[in-house]
Every structure is written in C-alpha cells, then in structure tokens.
Structure 1
Amino acid sequence: MSKPNLRSITVNQIGYSTEGAKIAIVNGEGQGFRVIREETGEVVYAGKSGAAVLDKPSGAKARAADFSEVRTAGRYYIEGDDGSISASFVIADKPYQELQQGLLKAFYYFRCGVELTGEYAGPWAHGACHTAEGIVHGQPEKRLDGCGGWHDAGDYGKYSGPGAKAIADLLLAYELYPAAFEAAVPLPESDGRTPDVLLECKVELDWLFKMQEAGTGGVYHKLTTLNFPGLDVMPENDTAELYISPVSAAATGDFAGVMAMAARVYEPYDQAYARQCLAAAQAAWTWLEQHPGVPGFTNPPGITTGEYGDGNDQDERFWAAAELYRTTGMEVYHEAVQALAKLPFPKYSLGWADMGGYGTLAYLLSGKSATQTALYASLKQGLLAEADRLVQQCREDGYRISLLEEDYIWGSNMLVMNNAMLLLAAEHFSGNTAYAGCALDHLHYLMGRNVLDISYVTGFGDRPVMHPHHRPSVGDGVADPVPGMVSGGPDRGLHDEYAARHLQGKPAAQCFADHDLSYSTNEVTIYWNSPAVFVTARFNV
C-alpha cells in the first residue's frame, strides 16, 4: 500500500460557521476520519467519508467527509484512518470577518499616486508613484492629470473598464449586505461616518473622473506606460512616460454604469459628490448615444500593456442604461434598457468583458413595480435558470464548485467568485438559501478546499500563496507577499513560459504554480478581489 499524502484531506483553511454545513474533501482511499480539537487532542467526532468520485478537472478521487454535527467553537483539524491530516481551521459564529477585511484592505495596497505609510501599510509601505501627467496617445502635446486610483493587477496599469467592474462588486456588496461593512478597515480616510468600503471606492471613482474626456463625455480606455516594467520594479521607481489610450465605447459604458450606481450609493453621505457622479454618468450616456457603432478597442501602436480589448459594447450600454434608470427613474433610460435587452449578448455574466449581468441585477433591483412586467420576469427567470445550472455543476464536481474542465482558464478564480456572486444574487431574488450554500462551497474552494490544498489568498489560511506575480511583492524585500490578494488560479492553457515548462500534462485544476513568473496562474487583480469581498460579505451579516 502506498504511503498517503499527509495533507490529502482538504478544508477551508479559515474555517466553518458553527451552525452551517462542514465538509472536508478527502483525496485518497481511506474512509474513516476523526475531527480533533487542536488545543486538547480530543476526538470530538468520528465518521466515514462518502463514496469516491473520480473528479476529472482535478484528477482526484474525491470523497466528501461531512462533520456538520461539530458545532462547538474552537480550532480543529481532521485525521484519516490512513494517517492523512488536514490543515487546522476554526469553527466560529462568523469565521470570515478578518478575511473580508483583508480582501478589502488589499485595495488600499493597490493605490496609485500616494505614499503608503507604515501606519497603514506596515512592512509593505512605499513611496508615491506615477504622479506625472499622462500623454494622450496621438496628441503628444496634450498631457492630462491621471494621478490616483488603483493599480489594476501585478503591473501598474490603470484601466477604466476593469476598475468599474471592481467598484461595482464592492458597491453591490455594500447595497445588499451593509451590516458586513460596519467595522473600520481602517483606512487613512476612516471617519466613523462613511463606511470604509465607500471611502476606498472613492479612490478609484476620483481617478475615473479624470479619465472622462472634457467636452465629449467619452472615457479613455486606460492609462499605462508603453511597456510593462521589470518584475522587481517598485511602483515609485516605475518612471517611464505614461500614456492615455483613446476613448472606447466599452470604457464609456462601464463608466456610465458605475457612476450612476455611485450617485445612488453616495447620496446619503455626500450629496454634492452624488450629483457629480450622476452628471458624469449622463454625459457618458450622451456620448454613447452619439456613437452607436464604434469599433472595439485595440492597443494603439507602440503600447504593449494589457489591452482589455472588447469588441461588443452592447452589454456595457445595457448596464449603463439600467443603472441610470434605477438611479433616476427616467423613462428615457427605461426605454433604452428595453431596447438593449432584445440584443443577443450574455445577460448573466459578471466579467470585465461581458458586463450584462450587472445590467440585469440593476434592473431587477429596481423592483417589480418600477419595471416592465415581461422583461422583469424574463430576466429573473434567466438568472435563476443560470444559478440552477451552476448548482447542478456543483453537484457533479468532486470539490463542489461550478467549474467544468474547460473553465480552468486564465483567471479561473474570478469565475469561481463571479459564479458565487451570481448564486447569491439568485438567493436574493428567490429567497432560496440553497443558492447561498452552493456559493459558500466556492469560498471553501478558494480558501483551501481544492486539490492543491492551497489558499489562493495571500496572507490567509494555513498554506497561502506566497509568490504572486505582483511587482511590489517581488520588489519590496519583504518575505511575505502583500496580504489579502486573490491569485488567478489554475489555467489549463499554460499561457506563460513558467507554466508551460512545469505544468505539462497536469489535470486542469492542478495547472497552477505558486511562482512569481507564472503570470497566467498566479497574478493578482482588483477584479478578482472584488467578487471575493462580495461573497465574504454575505456570510458576515
């Protein structure tokens, strides 16, 4: 008999709630297991795991070990009859509060243009960066202030569309689960009045204002250097010229949607700011009306940074119209929503390239009485059908998540968290808490209940990602990476040289390398963090 992998029992490395379901996944032959209280060594529960499922995406023989009967708060680990063990974890009433705060604090670490002081950044402090004006591409004599906002990812680019997606996730989390955001992070701006999540989103919103072209309402696609800097270059040492890429319809639609949303959310806290957001959203909408058929964005000549190309702007226009209608109640926007909804784009996607799901959520959140009956019913039915499809995929998956083998793409953890978000939206509109249970399984996967027994969030869990493709984490000389950042996760396409060299032949869910050169599996981004904040917030109310 072969010796077992001593860590072949995988769990959420943060823990489980006292009253909720508690399931570990065993990758191996042994069926008997024991739950042991770490402080005393006492066996508090003994059971047998279920039948093995040959899980194709992970290549594992996965068995579910259910220990939901354990409801006493404390720290535990699981031991199998064959000597295998799990990470240690807690059982607590609300085990994910610190995790949510860490995921949200990561946005502070992504800040651009300001010094991150030791008081708030600890050992990950660094100087102000990217304070120079940006050159408008194609107009070398025109320079604009683009200081502020968040770095997008492991590089220092700033992108309007992905930034809007990240803000939207955070604002939706606050709208649906405000009680989860009562505690301060804290941030330099914390004032005890405006929730910190709104103060942090304002950092990116203030930058987005600078990306709106004066006089037209259109929104520049991105602000980057011509090329990516070296992997160990700290932000304050990245001093190459900054370039503002041309206006795009996708960026303008995303801007209109998120600014209309912000106008509504900030109104109780800062009415003048809310009015500024709404005026900017309406100006962007005017640009969209005046430019009905513009080509998709591609990188201008000479710029090699992330393109975020998007050839279909119908989804962004739909989101913009739906948010403007929800915020203003004006029939002109309602008519636009109804016209755009007839077009064939994804209505339930929450990705930066397909933003139609945000339009659907905005329209449904407007309420049944304020919406067109047939369209409301159709969008709600479609949302629940998509959620049911995800639930069915979870039932068939050895690790209880909704990804098929082909879904382990570049940024697969965004799909994991976006799908969990959609499931929670289905819970919100149906009242069916089974959707939340399935969403929680996705969080369990992210935090270690996966075939690699790794927490995909830096600084959290028993075995977290340690070497993300993230320039400050590489260049700062600090052993631990910047905490609270969600890694991209397994990518079966092996889209970087390191992955192609080291991961050939691995099952899809094992195509991950905790190495800073593996940008296709181990980079971080603001819009992988943002849905994770949304999901954890649901379980902190």
Structure 2
Amino acid sequence: MSIRSFNHSIRLGIGVTLLINLFAFVFQADEPAVIRINLLGYRPHSPKVAVWGSLTEKTITRFQLIEEQTGKSIYQGTLSRGIGAYGPFRQTYRLDFSSVQKPGTYYVQADDGTRSPTFRIGDDVYDGAADFCLRYMRQQRSGFNPFLNDSCHTHDGYTLYGPMPDSTHIDVVGGWHDASDYLQYVTTSANATYHLLAAARDFPTAFSDQHQANGRNGTNNVPDVLDEAHWGLDWLLKMHPTDDWLFNQLGDDRDHAGMRIPKEDSAYGKGYERPVYFATGQPQGMFKYKNRATGVASTAGKVSSALALGYQLLRSHEPVYASQLRKRSESAYRLGLKKPGNCQTAPGRAPYFYEEDNYVDDMELATVEQLKLINEAGKQVQQLQKTALYFARQEPVTPWMTNDTARHYQWYPFVNVGHAELAKKLPVSQRKSVTDYYKKGIETVWQRAKQNAFYRGIPFIWCSNNYTTSFATQCYWYRTLTGDSQYVVFEQANFDWLFGCNPWGTSFVYGLPANGDTPADPHSAFTHLKNYPIDGGLVDGPVRGSIYGKLIGITLYQPDEYAAFQSNVAVYHDDYGDYSTNEPTMDGTASLIYLLAAKQTERPTSGRNIATSKRTIKPVLQRSKKPVIDPKSTYYKGAKIRGDTSLRRLSLVFTGDEFADGGTVIARTLKKHGVRASFFLTGRFLRNATFAPVIRQLIQDGHYIGPHSDQHLLYCDWRKPDSLLVSRELFVADLRANYVALATFIGKSGNATFFLPPYEWYNDSIATWTKAEGIQLVNYTPGTLSHADYTTPNDRNYRSSDVILESIRVYEQKKRNGLNGFILLMHIGTDSRRINKLYTRLDELLTELRKKSYQFVRVDEL
C-alpha cells in the first residue's frame, strides 16, 4: 500500500472539510434493513451465514432460504434475540442456514420482507477465482507489461545510500508496481512472491496455463501462478545481486506527483530513471522525513525465504537458474543474521512509509526454508530447528492481534508464515507448541469478534482487507495442521467479509464476482485515466472514521452510494479520491490468491472434464436429427441470417467471450419487457466462474443459450474468406469443446442446435462442417451497425451508441419489411475502454420497437 504525498494532496485539494457531512447522513434508500451475504457463494459443506442489519430499531423473528428457480422455501430459521448495534446498524442478526447442502441458486428473505442478493451453493463456487486475481498481478508488471503490450521503467535505476557512489546505474528493471502507483518495495514483493510460490506448491490444480512467461496469452506448460512467481523471483535476484548487496526499494513518494500510465513515468529529475535505495540498516530519507530502520533482517529474511522456495519448485526444470536462487537465498539469510533489525522503507516529501517494527517472523520463515535446503543434504538439521524455534518464541503471536491499532505496515507480513512451515518440519510431538501460537492469536481476535454479528475482530486500520485475508489464512493453516475445527465458522466469516458480508454489501475485489457489487471507481491510474479494468485487484478496505478524517489529500468526486452505511466504526468509499480504502495492492492480492486457491481445492472433486479429446467430447450433445432448412428464412453461404419477413417479429442475439459486464443489465431489461433473447457463448466464457451467475440467470429466465466456439478462433482470412485458417479437425475439436462447457449448464440435450461463428465470420466450408455435426449455422442480419457495439474510441471503426441506434431506426423506417425476421446482434460485454455501452440503451430500444408492434422471439423460434 503506497500513500499519497503532500504535494499530491495540494493537487487534489484538502478533503478534511468532507467530515462536516461524513457521518451526519440521512438514509434515503427505500428500505431500512439489508441482508448481507457472500456474493461468491458457499460450498455445500461449509458454514453459511448471512447478516441482517437494520438502520432503525426494528427486529425480526424468522427468515427463510428460497430457491430462486422455483420460488420454494427450502429452509426456515427461527431467531431469538438480536446481537445488537454495529457500525451503522442499530440491530443485527446472524441468519444461519449451514444445514442446507443442496446445490442451487438461492436468496435469503427475512419476515420483514428484506431480501438478500441471489447467490449459489455448489462445490465449484470458487473455481477460477484465484486465476482471475492473477490478472491484476500481470497488470502490475514493471518492465514488459503484457496488459499494455508495452514496456515501462526500462531505465531503472540510480543508486542511493549504497557502498558505490550515489547515482551509480544498476539494472533493476522488472518486478511489480506496489499498488496502483509505481513504487516497488522488496518487502512486499518478496512476500507476494512467496505466497504465489506456496500457492503453486500447495494447490497446483487451482491454476490453469493460459499465459506465457511474459504474460501474453498462450501456453508454455507452466501454471500461470508459477510464471507470475518467476517474474517476482527475477526481480528479487536483481535487488540482491551480490553476497553483500541488498536493495530495499525502487522509487519514493515523488511518484505521487500525478497520475500517469507507467511508461510516462519521469518524476525524479533524471529522465526516466528512478532511485534504488540500498538497505543499510540505518535511518533513510532524502528530504525532511526519515524512517527508523534498525537493521536489514526483515527484508533479507523475506528475500531468502522466497528464493529458497523458488529453488525447491524450479530445481528439476531450471537447474542453472535454481542454483542461482539457492545461492542468493543463502547469502540473504546470512545478511539477516549479520544485521538483525527492521528495514523500513524510505519516505520522501510526506511523513508516510512502511513502518515495519518486527523481523523475527521473517527470520523464522527464512530459517525453516534453509532447513529444507540443508535437510536435503542431511546436515545441521537440529541447529536450524533450534534457531527457527528461537525466532518463533520471540514473537508467538503477530502483534497486531493483541493491539487495537497499528502504524502503517508496522507488523508485516500480517500473518506469520514461519509458524505453519515450521510446524510441518517439526516432529509431531513438538508441533503443538507452534500451532498453539496460531490458536492464541485466533482466540485473541475471536474475543473481540464474537461481540458483533459480522464476527469482525480485525482492527479497521490501513489495509484492513490485507489483514482479513491473512487472518483467514492463519485460521485455515491452524485447522489443517491440527484438525481442530472450532474456529471454522469464524474463518468463513472473515472470508465472507471480503466478498460482500460486510456493512456495505460489496465485494472488495475488482470484478469478482462479475455480476456482483464490486469496486468500480478504484484509486488507480489505469481506471481513472484509461478506463482499463483492473480485474482481480483487492482494495485496501475500510478504515476507522477517525483515521479517515486525519488523512492528507482525500476528497470524494462522486456522491457516496454507501453513505447510509458509513459510521465512526468504519468507512469505505468506492471513489477514486479515497486512496485509503479503495486502492488495490499487489501484495494483498497475492495473499488472496493463496487463500482463494485453498478454498477452491478444499472442495470435493467434481469429476468434470472439459478436455477436448475425442474420447471425452463425443457424447456431450446428443442430436437426434439434422437441422431443417426453413423455406421462409434467408440463408447466406449455409447460415441462416433472417427469418420470415412477412411476420413482425425479430430475434435479439448476444455473443460473449471475454466480457460479461452487461449481463446483469441485459437480463434485468429483458425481464422488464418480457423478452426472451438468444445468447451465444464461447467455452472460455462458460468456464469463467465469475460469469456463472449471469449464465444461470439467463437460463432461468428462458433465454436460448448456444455455442460460439470454444477459443473464439478466426476461421478464415478477413480479406479472402475462402482461405481457411483452421483445419476441419481443429474446427470440430474446438466446437465440441464448446459443447462440453455448454453441457455443464444445459445438460446433454439437443436443444442447442444453432451455432453462431466467432467474429461472425465464416465461409462455405465452415457451414458444411457445422451441418455435418448436426448443427445449423446462424448469423446476424446485415444492414445495421448493432454488431459494432464492441468498438472502442481508439478504433478507426468506432461507432457510438447514438450512431448504432440511429442505424437501426433508419433501417426500420426505410426498408419495406422493416425489421421483420431480423437477427439483431449485440454483445453481452465489451472492453472497458468503451465507456459508451450500447446495453445501457437496451431499454430505450425495446420500448421503441414494442410501440411499433414488434414481437421478440428466440432464434430457435424465428
């Protein structure tokens, strides 16, 4: 988490005056009570608790769990007394429906009529979430950035405080930007790298291989999480290039002079070069403010641990590289022993920095990782065990757990990873002494948490979501190491908090779940300047009202949609101007990736196979007959492109591959008008766990769901459509794989017999191959610009929503048959760079066409 400097606060304007009205709000929503749930859903055998909260003195006595598809109540709960006031709520209840294990889509409703958002129960509710959060890590890459497809910070950097002359150039290009600015810290990067490596080690099945080492799309037979960890390892080696050289940070808070895209970074007076600070173990700071560093062990220990774990995972595949990791792990460990103490980051023009005040946890983990290396050679095992236990006893409980406040990153990382790794290496007879350290910390937090309905015992200090993630991970480690499940409900409550079971009812992860309430206006240059999505980024999270009120340079740019739920207990704003609660962080996201991977792989195996081998895909869709040609319809090169033009009816068609941002809006608008439409979705779309809720909603509402290819392949040349770019074998395998993914939602039925080709581009061969599979090719009716709703402003073919709607109106008015039999194609989601979304105008379009007496039917009814 990086912090806005005073210079930046001048540019933004001091926001203290906001406090005048911050807590003197008036609740203006329609209902005085809400029900908060985990928007991602619940596993069948996990605890399931929603929280009802009222902004008035009202109470409830009963609630029920209702199956959304049937409207039936499948569970009823009776409540005794409320738990009392918390934050903005005057009364709260915990609504426990843990006994319900039947997979499905549900909502909770209290006897006062209050209703929760819909959510799922299923073994697969967390599938793909860890992979999704890896998107943010890739987007934070410095050096070559695959999201931007461009390079940045390629001149780093010039040295400060080192044994070499100041301004000596050293190559430290790479790593990740720390938060949504461009500072880079070894302490957070090493911790992030370790968590990614541990996730690859502990939960290998949670991750896919969809990206190359450089982050671009493609496969390289390496799980994407390990590719991302490798990127971190590469940078750590640069920051520890020799036995005695260790650098601690790259850049300082001069970074905060203004928002810009990373390749435009030139804030330090030396062109595009940035300062790299040597870890001296002494106080540092180039301007008025200095840190209180006392040593280098906190940084050296983290570096040593990450490099050692990297060696263990890569030694069989990259032996030369791995040997370098081991060498530098050992030298970093020696530096930590030689210079014990805390290595804090260097402030710039503002009094903010990472005030790390502990190091024994880092050296405990580093010692355990050295033990794993030495143990392989059968040497010094007992001595290293003794050293690790010595460090463990110095800090049995991470200090924030026994305090109600902390300075920024004062005790970091927020979970003592060393305890878990040490417990695994100790004989069973000695393990309990270490796992009891975890238990003591959990129990301490529980004593605070049990007093409120959300089971919230973690202090609302800066980066509270990072603390929450770390604490949930500690609970998980304690449970799996000991078999003691007494805190499992508490563990789940902390996880639920991150995804919506909190006073604001929002997930704190950008874009997860896709159709839930998630951050939309984070403190990020990517979103603020370019409207780029920062998928998977975990934002800092709520802070105390008293902390918020004292921060420099905060102002809100939009009306606060959560105003009714702010309180002195905690404040959260989904607003670019609030860097304290709504800025995503790289290290917090990496920690969450580990936790999400743990949650995904803990479930029972579903046995579902989406491979594209012929042995698997052949029986997926049982088609009983060949497609029938309708003499009243229009066909072009074998594809149906229009229905009966004598009838005043048409079909709305939506395609989906990468994006689903319009899904909820589209579904709601169609339901409002009583319209059934058709959705053609790729295998990639169907396998994206974050899109599953909207797919199920569409099916429930009676819309047609059909295939759009598995990988959205381009079948033929744009300029020479007769020139195929795929073989028949590849085409068939890809199409069948799409049906495999489709079958998980619609079953092995013969209903999905229409296929809309990717890019809406095909030729006679594609039509023939499709027909041979017992499927009818379909495409949009030419004449309007509706299909151009995906274009972005930087595209020469860009068409605004106004232009698109006008093209539809003109066609309808001037053509003899109007839109009779028309197949009108749009997209279920588009790139975030297109702010002008056509689906937001769908209500307007349907209203106009309804007035003209058009009927809307599914494409299989056209």
The two structures have a TM-score, normalised by structure 1, of 0.86
**Paired position in structure 1 for 2:102:** 72
Q: Give 3-state SS (helix, strand or coil) of 2:206's partner.
A: helix
**Paired position in structure 1 for 2:68:** 38
Could you tell me which of 501, 513, 519 is aligned with 1:465?
A: 519
Q: Distance in 2 between matches of 1:305 and 1:278?
A: 37
Could you tell me which of 159, 170, 174 is aligned with 1:136?
A: 159
The structure-2 alpha-carbon separation of the partners of 1:273 and 1:57, relative to structure 1 and needing over 3 Å to count, comes to farther
| Deviation per residue, 1:354-387 (Å, 9 max, x gap) | 4581222221121317xxx65x442222222323
Q: Distance in 1 between matches of 2:222 and 2:507?
A: 32
Could you tell me which of 393, 404, 411 is aligned with 1:353?
A: 411
CA contact (8 A) 1:99 1:536 kept: yes
**Paired position in structure 1 for 2:140:** 110
CA contact (8 A) 2:252 2:346 kept: no
Q: What is the one-letter code of the residue matched to 2:587? A: Y
Could you tell me which of 222, 231, 249 is aligned with 1:222?
A: 249
Could you tell me which of 326, 332, 344 is aligned with 1:297?
A: 344
CA contact (8 A) 2:66 2:73 kept: yes
Could you tell me which of 492, 506, 509 is aligned with 1:454?
A: 506
Q: Distance in 1 between matches of 2:399 and 2:446?
A: 15
Q: Give 3-state SS (helix, strand or coil) of 1:519's partner.
A: coil
Q: Tell me whether 1:423 sits opposite 2:475 in the alignment.
A: yes
Q: Give 3-state SS (helix, strand or coil) of 1:54's partner.
A: coil
Q: Tell me whether 1:521 sits opposite 2:581 in the alignment.
A: yes
Q: What is the one-letter code of the residue matched to 1:529? A: T
The structure-2 alpha-carbon separation of the partners of 1:453 and 1:295, relative to structure 1 and needing over 3 Å to count, comes to closer
CA shift for structure 1 position 143: 0.7
The structure-2 alpha-carbon separation of the partners of 1:498 and 1:65, relative to structure 1 and needing over 3 Å to count, comes to farther
Higher deviation after alignment, 276-285 or 64-73 = 64-73
Q: Distance in 1 between matches of 2:553 and 2:210?
A: 36
Could you tell me which of 174, 194, 219 is aligned with 1:168?
A: 194
Could you tell me which of 219, 237, 246 is aligned with 1:209?
A: 237
The structure-2 alpha-carbon separation of the partners of 1:533 and 1:397, relative to structure 1 and needing over 3 Å to count, comes to farther
Could you tell me which of 506, 524, 529 is aligned with 1:475?
A: 529
**Paired position in structure 2 for 1:199:** 227
Q: Give 3-state SS (helix, strand or coil) of 2:91's partner.
A: strand
**Paired position in structure 2 for 1:89:** 119
Identity in percent = 22
The structure-2 alpha-carbon separation of the partners of 1:278 and 1:3, relative to structure 1 and needing over 3 Å to count, comes to closer
Q: Give 3-state SS (helix, strand or coil) of 1:449's partner.
A: coil
Q: What is the one-letter code of the residue matched to 2:325? A: C
Higher deviation after alignment, 427-436 or 443-452 = 427-436
Q: Distance in 1 between matches of 2:352 and 2:153?
A: 17
CA contact (8 A) 1:175 1:265 kept: yes
Q: Distance in 2 between matches of 1:353 and 1:282?
A: 24
CA shift for structure 1 position 142: 0.8
Higher deviation after alignment, 17-26 or 105-114 = 17-26
CA contact (8 A) 1:211 1:219 kept: yes
Q: Distance in 1 between matches of 2:101 and 2:522?
A: 35
CA contact (8 A) 2:179 2:583 kept: yes
CA shift for structure 1 position 198: 1.3
CA contact (8 A) 1:497 1:518 kept: no
Q: Distance in 1 between matches of 2:512 and 2:386?
A: 46
The structure-2 alpha-carbon separation of the partners of 1:284 and 1:344, relative to structure 1 and needing over 3 Å to count, comes to same
Q: Distance in 1 between matches of 2:588 and 2:220?
A: 28
CA shift for structure 1 position 64: 1.5
Q: Give 3-state SS (helix, strand or coil) of 1:78's partner.
A: strand
CA shift for structure 1 position 534: 2.1
CA shift for structure 1 position 180: 2.6
CA contact (8 A) 2:360 2:394 kept: yes
Q: Give 3-state SS (helix, strand or coil) of 1:142's partner.
A: coil
Higher deviation after alignment, 487-496 or 170-179 = 170-179
**Paired position in structure 1 for 2:275:** 243
The structure-2 alpha-carbon separation of the partners of 1:112 and 1:446, relative to structure 1 and needing over 3 Å to count, comes to same
| Deviation per residue, 1:292-316 (Å, 9 max, x gap) | 4x6743526x565963233443333
Q: Tell me whether 1:234 sits opposite 2:261 in the alignment.
A: yes
Q: Distance in 2 between matches of 1:88 and 1:194?
A: 36
Q: Tell me whether 1:399 sits opposite 2:463 in the alignment.
A: no
Q: Distance in 2 between matches of 1:58 and 1:528?
A: 27
CA shift for structure 1 position 4: 6.2
Q: Which has the larger radius of gyration?
A: 2
**Paired position in structure 2 for 1:152:** 178
Q: What is the one-letter code of the residue matched to 1:364? A: A
CA shift for structure 1 position 410: 0.7
CA shift for structure 1 position 353: 3.4
Higher deviation after alignment, 498-507 or 445-454 = 498-507
Could you tell me which of 369, 373, 376 is aligned with 1:327?
A: 373
CA contact (8 A) 1:417 1:442 kept: yes
CA shift for structure 1 position 467: 1.3
Q: Distance in 2 between matches of 1:256 and 1:3?
A: 53
Q: Distance in 1 between matches of 2:419 and 2:120?
A: 37
Q: What is the one-letter code of the residue matched to 1:469? A: H
CA shift for structure 1 position 470: 1.9
CA shift for structure 1 position 391: 4.3
CA shift for structure 1 position 26: 0.7
The structure-2 alpha-carbon separation of the partners of 1:455 and 1:49, relative to structure 1 and needing over 3 Å to count, comes to farther
CA contact (8 A) 1:469 1:518 kept: yes
Q: Tell me whether 1:288 sits opposite 2:336 in the alignment.
A: yes
Paired positions, count: 520
Q: Distance in 1 between matches of 2:528 and 2:189?
A: 23
Could you tell me which of 542, 547, 551 is aligned with 1:496?
A: 551
Q: Distance in 2 between matches of 1:410 and 1:157?
A: 18
The structure-2 alpha-carbon separation of the partners of 1:459 and 1:408, relative to structure 1 and needing over 3 Å to count, comes to same
Could you tell me which of 575, 594, 598 is aligned with 1:534?
A: 594
Q: What is the one-letter code of the residue matched to 2:518? A: P
**Paired position in structure 1 for 2:91:** 61
Q: Distance in 2 between matches of 1:393 and 1:304?
A: 34
Higher deviation after alignment, 431-440 or 317-326 = 431-440
CA contact (8 A) 2:33 2:52 kept: no
Higher deviation after alignment, 45-54 or 410-419 = 45-54
Could you tell me which of 466, 471, 477 is aligned with 1:414?
A: 466
| Deviation per residue, 1:13-54 (Å, 9 max, x gap) | 111123333221111323333433334444444434453112
Unaligned runs of 5+ in 1: none
**Paired position in structure 1 for 2:786:** none
Q: Distance in 2 between matches of 1:396 and 1:261?
A: 40
Q: Distance in 1 between matches of 2:400 and 2:421?
A: 13
The structure-2 alpha-carbon separation of the partners of 1:90 and 1:192, relative to structure 1 and needing over 3 Å to count, comes to farther
CA contact (8 A) 2:88 2:565 kept: no
Q: Give 3-state SS (helix, strand or coil) of 2:154's partner.
A: coil
* Mapping 1:430-441, distance limit 5 Å: 430-441=482-493
CA shift for structure 1 position 227: 0.6
Q: Distance in 1 between matches of 2:392 and 2:95?
A: 44
Task: Specify which structure has the bigger relative contact order, considering alpha-carbon pairs within 8 angstroms and separated by 6 or more residues.
Answer: 1
CA shift for structure 1 position 87: 1.5
CA contact (8 A) 1:152 1:525 kept: yes
Could you tell me which of 555, 561, 567 is aligned with 1:507?
A: 567
The structure-2 alpha-carbon separation of the partners of 1:34 and 1:383, relative to structure 1 and needing over 3 Å to count, comes to closer
CA contact (8 A) 1:310 1:353 kept: yes
Q: What is the one-letter code of the residue matched to 1:487? A: V
CA shift for structure 1 position 238: 1.5
CA contact (8 A) 2:399 2:411 kept: no
Could you tell me which of 429, 442, 459 is aligned with 1:387?
A: 442
CA shift for structure 1 position 252: 1.7
**Paired position in structure 1 for 2:745:** none
CA contact (8 A) 1:383 1:426 kept: yes
The structure-2 alpha-carbon separation of the partners of 1:532 and 1:289, relative to structure 1 and needing over 3 Å to count, comes to closer
CA contact (8 A) 1:106 1:483 kept: yes
Q: Distance in 1 between matches of 2:585 and 2:142?
A: 14
CA contact (8 A) 1:56 1:507 kept: no
CA contact (8 A) 2:358 2:410 kept: no
Q: Distance in 2 between matches of 1:70 and 1:339?
A: 46
